Amino acid sequence: MNSSISTTSKYYDEKILIGLIIFSFFGMYIGFFSHSFYLLTICCLIGAFSILIAEILFRSKRIKQYALALLVIATFTIAFGVLYNKSFPTAYLFLLFFCLLVVFFSLNKYTHKQMLAITNLPYLVYAALSILVNLGVIPVGRAINSDDVTTVFGNANAFVGFFGSTAHIDSYSILVLLINLYFNPIKRNKLFFLFLTGTIAFITFRTTPILVGIGSVLCAFVLNKLKWKIFGEILLITIFLSFLTPLVIYILTQDRVYLILLDYLLTGRASLWVDIWNIYTSKSILDMLIGFSGVEGFSVMTWGFAKANPHNLYLNFLILYGAAFFIIFFLFVRRVFFNLSPQKKTLLIAILLGGVGNSALIGFSNLPITIWLAYLLCHEK
């Protein structure tokens, strides 16, 4: 009886998750036109997951200690941040939301089949909407992030996602590709998604999908086959502190030529990270520990104009939530990293690598990727 109720509840939870992901697409899209609707979407997502968690707790009366600990730590981080910065920005809402996701998945042991359903249907919806945007059928709420690209077939426009950016749909596509590669048992279905996601990732004309896809597979292979735990430790530290790479290279070489080369390879991110890091370290120790709840005070000249976007998930987290929570989050990820199955470890590495060049990889506008990160942190086997 209890097993039947649990199975039925998970079925409805799965459908609700799919609905919330698709709802977030339209909510974030309309949010480009109306900030009030953007906030309303966020509140709806937080409220929906709070209700789901309350229902699950009422049904099962259990909660994992690590999930509860992260939620408590996040609550204290938010409380101190609000009191110190005298504001309650959306960054704190996201931190609360992410911790609710972790609690949700700690209470639900979703199967690969269920996660495939949660992943594939929303992706098909997002891909269809993106095609309509590229055809000009649907307007975008912000300037399209797309450039003419010279290919062997001539000049072409890069394919952009529903939100008007290549930087979102490329990472989204490569993650869905890896998920179907590892977990989709139906050959025809798998081939369809491999072709669709691979094609979309390719026509964004970005190097991120290639680096993230190949890089995650190679790193996971080294970890799983050679059993080099030290390599895993170095990999995690390198990813989380990737924004310090330019400074480390300069300290080791004392030659700015390498910095210029790195800046070229990272499309301007090297100098951006150095400038933002210098601003961060110029603040008081208390500021650096608690965080700034926003990046508005970290605007630097990037690509010819002032921009407050670190273009690095980890530098962004450090600024928003402070060094104290940054370290705790690193330890939380490390806690599960070495216990993951080879396939799940590859997916986690892919998400983490994607964050090196994209500060918005995890967020309300990237709900599918955010959901998978929370899921992987709760499902070690």
- 115 or 226, which is more confident: 115
pLDDT digits (tens, 9 = 90+) for 245-298: 888 887 877 777 777 888 787 778 888 898 899 999 999 999 999 998 888 888
Counting Cβ atoms within 10 Å, is residue 58 exposed (0-12), middle (13-18) or buried (19+)?
exposed
Question: pLDDT for 124-155, tens place per residue?
Answer: 999 999 999 888 888 776 555 555 544 434 44
The DSSP symbol for 185 reads: -
Tell me the pTM. 0.89
Residue 327's nearest CA partner among 379, 363, 289 is 289
Residue 255 is predicted with a pLDDT of 72
User: CA 28 to CA 89: how far, in whole Å?
Assistant: 16
Say whether pLDDT at 209 is over 90: no
Cα separation, 53 vs 97, in Å, equals: 12
Helix orientation angle between 90-107 and 313-337, rounded to the nearest 10 degrees: 20
Beta strands in 245-338 (DSSP E): 300-302, 305-307
Paired tokens of 281? 């370290």
Instruction: Using pLDDT thresholds of 50, 70 and 90, give the confidence band for residue 157.
Output: confident
Which own/partner pairs from 244-250 qualify as long-range (CB within 8 Å, at least 24 positions apart)? 244/273, 244/277, 245/270, 245/273, 246/270, 246/271, 246/273, 246/274, 247/274, 247/277
Strand 154-157 and strand 148-151: pairing? antiparallel
Per-residue confidence (pLDDT) for residue 152, from 0 to 100: 38
Higher pLDDT, 216 or 8: 216
Q: How far apart are CA 101 and CA 104, in angstroms?
A: 5
What is the per-residue pLDDT across 323-363, written as a single tens digit (0 to 9) for each?
A: 999 999 999 999 899 888 888 999 999 999 999 988 888 88
Mean pLDDT on 177-193:
94
Percent of the chain with pLDDT over 70: 88
Domain chopping of the chain, boundaries: 1-62, 63-108+231-243+273-381, 112-206
Look up tokens 């906030």; give the residue.
39
Residue 162 confidence (pLDDT) = 86
**What 3-state class would DSSP assign to 15?**
helix
Contacts of residue 236, defined as CB under 8 A and 6 or more positions apart, other chains included, come to 330, 333, 334, 337, 352
Mapped onto helix, strand or coil, the DSSP state of residue 6 is helix
> Is residue 317 over pLDDT 90?
yes
